[in-house]
Structure 1
């Protein structure tokens, strides 16, 4: 079994464990703020994934949202970046619209991405250079769209904050429509699937975007931060993912005039990555 096949298999197993234990009582804690939640299920799922990886590939390194691999400072060798439950608020309140996300890199280069929509039993996956899939169906290459005919996904919180609302409100107003799904991994998957055309957000961690980055780029999406710079699996960043034509329109026409402010935001949020 290849590393890619193994990653898919443990995501499916972890999802099965979550579904089987949904009726059990959740222990909910807060992290950085009252809306930044972690549950015993997040911790148990990460522990399961880490144990499976360590048993099969003891020389591989792992970064996980719930504390594994915090000492990783380079991308040498195989690096797994995992989010056991991306969309924990959705998991707690809805018991749906959350996903397991796995990104794997080799010497800093993309190797494979896996996103498992647990409750809908949908596995998005890609091996770099070999296309992206939903379960066994290969996803077609994305087609360019214009903002005026596009559906975008954006956290509405950014539309209310004084420092960001004048950057983002015009995008929402110009788009055909907007959505907010509450799971970065699923937002990436939905761009890859073509059911939304762009996902735009500030302040994502590597475990939020690493799996989706690989999958989205395999269907031709352009993934960058909002300054147009490449993402990497060790650093938090802002996100702009879209089909190529829309990415260029958003970057040049809508975010470009705010480059100085975005640079200041980046300096403040990401300078101590």
Structure 2
């Protein structure tokens, strides 16, 4: 049985730790840091990623020893079930941007209990923009409450999508989304899933698509979007698995519904949506 959690205390602690970590990350720009690669040459990790994750784990374990942590850099717990309280932690989402641009990266934390989102935080460090929510209380940007998501016609919509998914690739047939790009007002790509999901929750974007995200990439953004009245599913409109990598399609209710009906479902019906049965 899960112990009672004082979510107000967790909320305040998380915000304090996030801002403290953000200050340390900003200070790192004045020093040199080490860069390594993980799964491929474009999958970067720095010692700042690792230090930041260790900082959060130390704080969480000290204050909430019964809570578990799924972190990108592997310093957390081995989590195979969603029981209890779990922190999904990405210390720096957008490491390539962090390395090359020193902007457009974020700290992302989603806190779930028994698989249900309770608290979410996405902190755009260099812009000092903290998107956060507590279940049932609405979405905030710093101290200002964000208005509920509005409905927008496809022709007036902005979609965050990486150009990879509308050119030749091994995950999805480009014909799935290429027609949509001709219909909508425009596309954006910021190089950080957390920031792009936060922008959907804030109404800066109408939709977001990615074909390969891990739980720490989307846990916070998923909750922010749903708390704001949007929808977040897999690209083929299934429930997201919080313990595995997923395709992600998020957006306002109207955008999500129309794109599913007019573009994704026809691709599925004609069997040209997926390149392969599973992503690599």
Residue 161 (structure 1) aligned with residue 168 (structure 2): yes
Give deviations 1:20-71, integer Å, cap 9, x for gaps: 1212112111111111100111011111011110111111100000013352
Residue 91 (structure 1) aligned with residue 101 (structure 2): no
Residues in 1 aligned to 2:109 and 2:226: alpha-carbon distance in whole angstroms: 15
Residues in 2 aligned to 1:232 and 1:244: alpha-carbon distance in whole angstroms: 20
How far residue 264 of structure 1 moved from its aligned partner, in angstroms, is: 6.6
**Greater per-residue helix proportion:** 1
Match of 2:3 in 1: none
Match of 1:233 in 2: 242
Runs of 5+ consecutive residues of structure 1 not aligned to the other structure: none
Q: Secondary structure at the match of 2:211?
A: strand
Runs of 5+ consecutive residues of structure 2 not aligned to the other structure: 1-7
Give deviations 1:129-151, integer Å, cap 9, x for gaps: 11010001001111111221101
Match of 2:229 in 1: 220
Residue 118 (structure 1) aligned with residue 141 (structure 2): no
Match of 1:268 in 2: 278
How far residue 234 of structure 1 moved from its aligned partner, in angstroms, is: 1.1
Match of 1:53 in 2: 60
Residue 41 (structure 1) aligned with residue 45 (structure 2): no
Residues in 2 aligned to 1:175 and 1:31: alpha-carbon distance in whole angstroms: 35
Which of 133, 139, 152 is 1:132 aligned to?
A: 139
Residues in 2 aligned to 1:147 and 1:89: alpha-carbon distance in whole angstroms: 31
Match of 2:70 in 1: 63
Cα-Cα RMSD = 1.4
Matched-pair contact (CA < 8 Å) for 1:227–1:262: no
Give deviations 1:217-267, integer Å, cap 9, x for gaps: 1110111011111213212101111100110011111111122444674x4
Aligned length: 269
Residues in 2 aligned to 1:228 and 1:263: alpha-carbon distance in whole angstroms: 14
How far residue 169 of structure 1 moved from its aligned partner, in angstroms, is: 1.3
Residue 142 (structure 1) aligned with residue 149 (structure 2): yes
Matched-pair contact (CA < 8 Å) for 2:173–2:275: no
Show structure 1 runs of 4+ deviating over 3 A: 260-265
Match of 2:179 in 1: 170
Residue 25 (structure 1) aligned with residue 32 (structure 2): yes
Match of 1:243 in 2: 252
So what's the TM-score if we normalise by structure 1?
0.95
Q: Secondary structure at the match of 1:6?
A: helix
Match of 1:184 in 2: 193
Residues in 2 aligned to 1:41 and 1:31: alpha-carbon distance in whole angstroms: 15
